[in-house]
Each structure stands twice: as C-alpha cells, then as structure tokens.
Structure 1
Amino acid sequence: MTAAAASATAATYISFDIGIKNLAMCILEKTEDEINILDWRIISLADKKKDIKGIDDIAERIYVELDNVVGFLNGKGIDNIDYVLIENQPSNLNGMMKSIQYIIYCYFSLLKYWDKVVENVVLVNAGLKTKTHDFKPDIQVKMDATPKTAKNIKGFRNDKYKMNKQTSIEICRNYIKDDATLCEIFDDNKKKDDLCDSCLQAVAYIRTNANEDKNKTKYNKVSFKEIADVSVVAASLPE
C-alpha cells in the first residue's frame, strides 16, 4: 500500500482523560493493521486547583488549549478528526470534572455540526480502558480473582482504584515497550497513570469496535509516528 493510500484509510482519534488541573491527551492514527501515536502529553490547565476561579475561567482555559490541539493537527495536514473520545465522569462524585467533560464534549460537537471537521464525539465508560487487551498483568489477575464478598469490605474501593491505576500503567507499558520514543515520553512524565488512561481508552475502544479476524494479532502494539509540518513539507518541494 502506498503512503498516500495508507493515509487515505487512516482514522484519527483524540482521547482525553479528564482532570481539573491537567488533561491527559493522546492523539492516535488507526490504519487497517496498526495504531500509531501522533501526540501524547499532559495539558496543564492550572498549577493549583485554587487558581481556577469558576466555570467561566476553566472553560476559557480549556478552549484555548483545544484550539491549540486543532491547530497542531491542521499544521500536520490533518483537517478531519474521526473520533473524539472523552472519559465519562460519574455525575454524583465531582461536579467540576463532569463540567470539564461537557466543555470538551460541546467544543468538539460544535466542530462536528458547524464546521464538519469531526465525525464522532463519544463518551466512554471509564471501565473500558483496562478491558479487551490480550496482555493481563498479575495485579489484574489478582483483582479479578478477589471474591465478591471481599469487594464489599470497607476500603476495597480505594484499593481497587489504586490497582486499576497500576493495571493501566502495566498494560500501557506492554503496548509501547518496543518503541523508544514512546518509552521516553512515558518515563519522563510524572503523570504516568493519566497518560496511560488516555492511551488505553483509545486502544480499548479501537479493539472493541474493530471488525477483525480473532485469530489475527492486530493492534497488539502501539508505535510513535512523526508527521512533518505542512509548511516544512511545502518548503522542501521544488518550485
């Protein structure tokens, strides 16, 4: 398949893990056979929660950052986003997190309905990100084997939250282990669990919805793909 043909059949995904001070974002490209990460980072919204002066303030901060994300993609020659994936927040636990979810949802929904540059905006169940993967770390096996009676014991929810975070890190590390660039991004970042959540949310969603032969080993690893800026490519072309 030529590079042009491969590009034509690729789908672009943006996946967000929600936070108040930070958003974790992973931009991926899915082809028929592989998943490549184009950008993977933490977006800082504020140094401290108290720096955020209410919903108008956080909305403005998010809009500026999302404009930058769309601008980044446009600079790479990517003018259409196939899927925006946003972790669905529990409505009864943290009102600000839920508000941030819908600020992002509405931003991309407007791009979908008015500018026609987004195909799908999806709210993803938080539990999906550690499912569908072929690799299962020991901590996940142990958690799955926990008797139902033990899961009702006080404190188990906090333990499960910590175990889910560690599970996410180990699964993600397995996906990127053969790519030096992604390993460097991962190792240099303090917010490893959030980075992993944003990546695995997209990978799990892709694997769940892929129409593939179960005997094939598609989407069992993730690689980094460098895309030159459009301006750089244009400058290199002969006049």
Structure 2
Amino acid sequence: MMTTPEVHIKATNLAKSVKVADGSLTILHDISLTINRGESVAIVGASGSGKSTLLSLLAGLDTPSEGEVFLGRHPLHNLSEDKRAGIRAAEVGFVFQSFLLLPSLTALENVTLPAELAGIKDAKARGAALLQQVGLAARADFFPSQLSGGEQQRVAIARAFITQPAVLFADEPSANLDAQTGQKVEDLLFKLNKEQGTTLILVTHNAELAARCQRQYRMQAGRFVNKDNEGLADVG
C-alpha cells in the first residue's frame, strides 16, 4: 500500500514587492508550490528571475508581501523575525555560492559553530565526523584562506549539515568552482540528501544540476513558466 507523501514546504499565491523611487517593484508574482519531505527540487532560471528571492521566502529569511508559506506546521508569513530565526536554527541549513565562512575560525570551528550555538554537546565530535565525510579531516585546523574554493564549499556543506537540518537550501552551490570540483560538491549534496533524508532545494541556472533533482520549478521574470500553474516538472 502506497503512503501519502508528507508535505514539507507549501507556498500559496506568494508575491514580493519592494519600494523604489517612483513607487514599488514586484519581484515575485503569484507563486504557489508544494515540496514533500525528503525530495530534491530545483528552482531554475536566469539571473534576475526571482530565484533567490523565492528561496529567502521559503527559508524564512524574508516575508512575502502577499500569500502564505509554511515550513512544516510553521506559518512563516505570520511569524516575527525572532521566531523565524529560531525555526531556521532548528530546522534549516544553507549553502551559498560565496561560502560565507568566518576567516578567523578554522575549518572545524566553522563547522561546529552552528551546533555550539544550538547547545549541542558533542559539536566537536560531530564536526570532525562531518569533515571526515566530506574528505577534509586533514584540513580541520586550516583557516579558510588556506583552503581552495572547493574545500571551502565542502566545509560550508559540513557546516550546513551539522545540526541535521530537516531542509537544506543551496543557492548556486557550485557556481564559483571549476567543473570537476563543482561535480564533487554536487555529488556530496545529493549523497547527504539521500543518506539523511534531508529535503534539498537547489537554486540554480545550471540545467545539468537541476536535472539531477526529482522535480524542477522554472522561473522567468518572477513567475513560474512551467506548463501548469503549480510549476511542476518531473525530471526522473
């Protein structure tokens, strides 16, 4: 007997507008989507299409001008920044193309920082195990400036997974890397997605990377441009 997938993220009629000199500019228009727990989903589109703005709404980094967005049972559209921050700390991981490592901390310290802030007692052991998993155990005491771009991104991935987030958002995770290193980073994201059951949401303009996800939402000028309004495209 087939079980019904558990909805992890649901957005309904999202819109986002910002004030500009001569009035307002709408960045997102009438966005609706549903993502099930454990899925890998790509949000695809050219620069300026609204991908990163949508990611910020789905992750609770920002609130919509209109519409609703739920992360599990949490109505992110109705919550204060403090409450959204608490949810992000407990349930969400991030990987950005610019790595965002703290230069004064070693690789291990960068990885363990979120766990320490969350009060996880075995943060150091967990961080060391993750660095081993991403192939950087020998670089634990290196500072970001002593690491290659690919190594820094792998540190960032280990950091994102240390709190065992329910959902991971990755914004162009391999855009600043050479092809071979980028492939390794992408393989690692999907490996951890599968092994830990983490919902993986990729924001990218890379068609090959997007094709590795179970589904795609394609964006243009702040709207979904898939055939149906839900924006769903099965890709394998």
- TM-score by structure 2 length? 0.30
- TM-score by structure 1 length? 0.30
Name which one, 1 or 2, has greater alpha-carbon Rg: 1
